[in-house]
């Protein structure tokens, strides 16, 4: 995977899954679908990993094994969800889910970048313009660079580290730490949790409908959720479920699952309509998570714009305060 993923790369990944979903849905075999995409990939950078993947499939490995052996070009979230799709025989549905997921990520990324362009321009202009008057009088380059780049470089470094921290290819310990930190971030924490529950519900419905045992289905679905906290919680259930407790009881007793999820899952388990209930849960939490991310994408630029305005106002007031103090000390009043 690239170091930093751009909206264009997210769109290419969405197109890859969209085409795989279309081909497998109409009955084209997975090797043939992969070969078609290798010859006509959404972007040339995907041709090499697809070729490695096809070679592994031809050697007799399962799709999941082939993905793991073809290099680190997919995130752990993609791998877990594709594994669940292969186990359930619903790869076409998983491809569609991933295509929608990456399309939404690309759209949100473009919206945030577009909305941030003007506030970030004002921020950089303020950083470089306000110390310029002093630099013009003194000609001291070192002081000017310290007052400008000394502010910007730490911000760039922090932003770069944040992007690296959020990448899905990191180990589970690291991703668990990031998840615990983001849990306390307003809007973002709840959005991530809602989307994790949506992915879990989608994978669980596919696995149970395909006849996978409930314990294995929950473990695979928890891995596909992309949430280390959910995965740890579900793995801890296994001894109690084997002893006779139902997943509905475990869900109800777990603080990781909201009351709505627990109540609907319990109703679906009792009524025998768990597949329908999980589809409803997936739809609800997908909409809930997407709505919160949209709100975050809209408000983040506004907050930055407001911070820039405050910084400009502070610099203006500081300038005029210093100016009047100089006049007073010179006996102007």
* Cα–Cα–Cα angle for 96, 183, 106, rounded to 5 degrees: 35
What share of residues in the chain are helix, strand, coil (percent, to 5)? 80, 0, 20
Mean pLDDT of the region 245-250: 90
| Residue 302 Cα distances to 109, 135, 292, 319, angstroms | 16, 31, 16, 26
Strand, coil or helix: 43: coil
d(CA 269, CA 218): 14
Q: Spell out the domain ranges in the chain.
A: 7-99, 116-333
Of 213, 205, 196, which Cα lies nearest the Cα of 293? Answer: 196
* Length of the chain, in residues: 333
Could you please report the per-residue DSSP string of 232-248?
Answer: HHHHHHHHHHHTT--HH
d(CA 82, CA 115): 34
Strand, coil or helix: 162: helix
d(CA 174, CA 176): 5
pLDDT at 167: 62
* Cα–Cα–Cα angle for 192, 207, 15, rounded to 5 degrees: 60
> What token pair was written down for 280?
């409803």
| Residue 64 Cα distances to 134, 221, 228, angstroms | 62, 15, 20
Higher local confidence (pLDDT), 259 or 181? 259
Could you please report the per-residue DSSP string of 296-330?
Answer: HHHHHHHHHHHHHHHHHHHHHHHHHHHHHHHHHHT
Phi–psi pair at 171, nearest 5 degrees = -70, 165
pLDDT (tens digit per residue) in 105-155: 888 888 878 877 877 887 788 788 878 877 777 778 888 888 888 888 998
Report CA 180 to chain centroid distance, whole Å: 14
Domain 116-333 homologous superfamily, CATH: Type II secretion system (T2SS), domain F (1.20.81.30)
pLDDT (tens digit per residue) in 154-197: 988 888 877 776 665 556 677 777 778 878 888 888 988 998 99
pLDDT at 11 over 70: yes
CATH 1.20.81.30 given to domain 7-99 = yes
**Sign (positive/negative) of CA torsion 228, 231, 237, 238?**
negative
pLDDT at 172: 65
pLDDT at 78: 84
pLDDT at 2: 54
**Sign (positive/negative) of CA torsion 152, 157, 162, 164?**
positive
pLDDT at 284: 94
Residue 95's pLDDT band (boundaries 50, 70, 90)?
very high
Name the average pLDDT for the chain.
Answer: 85
Strand, coil or helix: 171: coil
């Amino acid at each position: 995977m690239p170091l930093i993923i751009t909206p264009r790369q997210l769109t290419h990944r969405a197109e890859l899954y969209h085409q795989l979903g279309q081909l497998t849905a109409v009955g084209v075999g997975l090797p043939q679908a992969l070969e078609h995409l290798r010859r006509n990939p959404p972007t040339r950078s995907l041709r090499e990993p697809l070729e490695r993947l096809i070679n592994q499939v031809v050697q007799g490995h399962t799709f999941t094994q082939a993905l793991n052996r073809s290099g680190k070009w997919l995130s752990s979230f993609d791998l877990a969800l594709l594994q669940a799709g292969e186990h359930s025989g619903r790869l076409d549905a998983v491809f569609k889910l991933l295509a929608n997921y990456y399309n939404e990520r690309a759209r949100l990324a473009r919206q945030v970048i577009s909305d941030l362009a003007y506030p970030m321009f004002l921020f950089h202009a303020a950083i470089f313009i306000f110390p310029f008057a002093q630099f013009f009088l003194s000609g001291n380059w070192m002081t000017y660079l310290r007052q400008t780049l000394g502010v910007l470089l730490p911000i760039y470094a922090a932003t770069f580290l944040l992007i690296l921290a959020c990448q899905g290819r990191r180990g589970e310990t690291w991703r668990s730490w990031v998840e615990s930190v983001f849990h306390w971030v307003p809007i973002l924490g709840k959005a991530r949790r809602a989307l994790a529950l949506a992915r879990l519900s989608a994978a669980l419905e596919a696995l149970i409908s395909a006849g996978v045992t409930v314990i294995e289905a929950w473990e695979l679905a928890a891995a596909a959720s992309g949430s280390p906290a959910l995965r740890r919680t579900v793995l801890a259930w296994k001894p109690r479920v084997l002893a006779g407790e139902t997943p509905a009881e475990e869900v109800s007793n777990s603080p990781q699952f909201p009351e709505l999820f627990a109540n609907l899952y319990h109703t679906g388990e009792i009524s025998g309509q768990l597949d329908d209930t999980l589809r409803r849960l997936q739809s609800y939490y997908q909409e809930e998570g997407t709505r919160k991310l949209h709100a975050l994408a809209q408000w983040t630029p506004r907050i930055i714009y407001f911070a820039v305005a405050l910084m400009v106002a502070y610099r203006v007031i500081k300038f005029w305060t210093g100016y009047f103090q100089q006049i007073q000390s010179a006996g102007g009043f």
